[in-house]
Amino acid sequence: MASELPIGTHLDSDSPANLRAEKLNRHTFWCGQSGSGKTYSLGVMLEQILLNTKLPIVVFDPNSDFVRLGEIRDDATPAAAAELAQRSVHVLHSKPGDGQQLRVRFVDMDIRSRAAVLKLDPIHDAAEYNTMLRVRDIELPARGEPLVDLLRNSDDPAFHSIARRIENLGVVEWDMWAYDDQDVTAVVHSRPDATIVDLGSFEVKEQMQTAALAVLDDLWAHRHDRIGRLIVIDEAHNLCSPSPGTPLEHLLTDRIVQIAAEGRKYGLWLLLSTQRPSKVHPNALSQCDNLALMRMSSAHDLEDLARTFGYAPSELLDRAMTFGQGQALFAGGFTAEPQLVQVGTRLTHEGGSDVAVPLR
Ligand SMILES: Nc1ncnc2c1ncn2[C@@H]1O[C@H](COP(=O)(O)OP(=O)(O)OP(=O)(O)O)[C@@H](O)[C@H]1O
Ligand SMILES: [Mg+2]
């Protein structure tokens, strides 16, 4: 295992470029406009983390871009292919039929998150909210049966209103409840080298948000275990909005901002990837000590970055305007000094590369 992660070649000299694995114990911001190669390049770095470290990775994958991270390309060098083949990449799919499905256990979720799923307010819906606090008691003897059936068949009429709420909101139809299947948090706890939480095929946005929140809440609840983990959130604007609207969005943003502010000492290290700095909450952004910047043609966004990431030299930030695909500036703790890099080639398959225009 090496502390140097080969990431590509230097733009100006063609010499090998590396990142420092030991400085992944910081938060990282990964930024660039659409098509600049963020997801592809992130994949290159994750492959190198898999090859060279024992750092468990959890990827929140809203476009199913990383579902093939365990599948090695034919053109990978035999040595890398043999090494990567020994790593465990556990993919939890949001689409039925693609492999193990992503499952969430409602009764194990944080009470505030459960209330947000059911649109319950602790003051306005005081009675129902209070019943919610007791839902766990009713479910525990009979794991595996649909919760809504247990609630409906309960002798306590208070539970019937929760059952109605679950049905009325359509939550019962979300094809992701665990019943007696293994849920996503159990997979994360089993500590594969990488867990891919595929969020790409859910019918409604709330499902994606609920699944992500279940995992983030659980990681936070177990923070005292102090297991170093890299928590990768691609398209981070989905989960860490600067202007959350719904209760679920508030909880997600609050949780990520909390992990950004306090998670480092517990070994919860974020990697947030998005197109523009203004798309994620500033209190998460300001905690990032590592920056990967890909093509960015907006002068305004570059000024934002210069303000937030004082450690990135402005003359190098400006080069981002002329970057081609796969070119990046790395700055901050995970690089010995700021460097301009042509990111290397993937060793594993991309999940969802661009759709090609059909030609005649
Ligand atoms: N270094 C590279 N070598 C070869 N192909 C690349 C490289 N970087 C990106 N691509 C290809 O370019 C396309 C866009 O890249 P990618 O999906 O990584 O962009 P992105 O910055 O994540 O965009 P978005 O913000 O829209 O998600 C993909 O089809 C990918 O396969
Ligand atoms: Mg992308």
Q: Which atom of ligand 1 is nearest to the CA of 325?
A: 8
Q: What are phi and psi of 77, to 5 degrees?
A: -65, 145
Gap from CA of 75 to ligand 1 centroid (Å) = 18
Residue 244 has pLDDT above 50, yes or no: yes
List, by residue range, all CATH 3.40.50.300 domains of the chain: 4-104+182-343
pTM of the complete model: 0.95
**pLDDT recorded at residue 46:** 98
Q: For 30-70, how does the pLDDT look when each residue is reduced to its tens digit (9 = 90+)?
A: 999 999 999 999 999 999 999 999 999 999 999 999 999 99
* 5-30 residue pLDDT tens: 999 999 999 999 999 999 999 999 99
- What pLDDT band is residue 214 in, cutting at 50, 70 and 90? very high
More confident residue, 180 or 140: 180
Q: How confident is the model at residue 179 (pLDDT cuts 50, 70, 90)?
A: confident
Whether the pLDDT of residue 196 is over 70: the answer is: yes
Residue with CA closest to ligand 1 atom 9: 37
The CA 291 to ligand 2 mean position distance, Å, reads 16
Residues with CB under 6 A from ligand 1: 32, 34-40, 275, 325-326, 343, 350, 353-354
Ligand 2 centre to CA of 38 (Å) is 5
CATH 2.40.50.140 fits 4-104+182-343, yes or no: no
Does residue 3 or residue 143 have the better pLDDT?
3
* CA 37 – ligand 2 centroid, Å: 7
Q: How confident is the prediction for the chain on average, in pLDDT?
A: 94
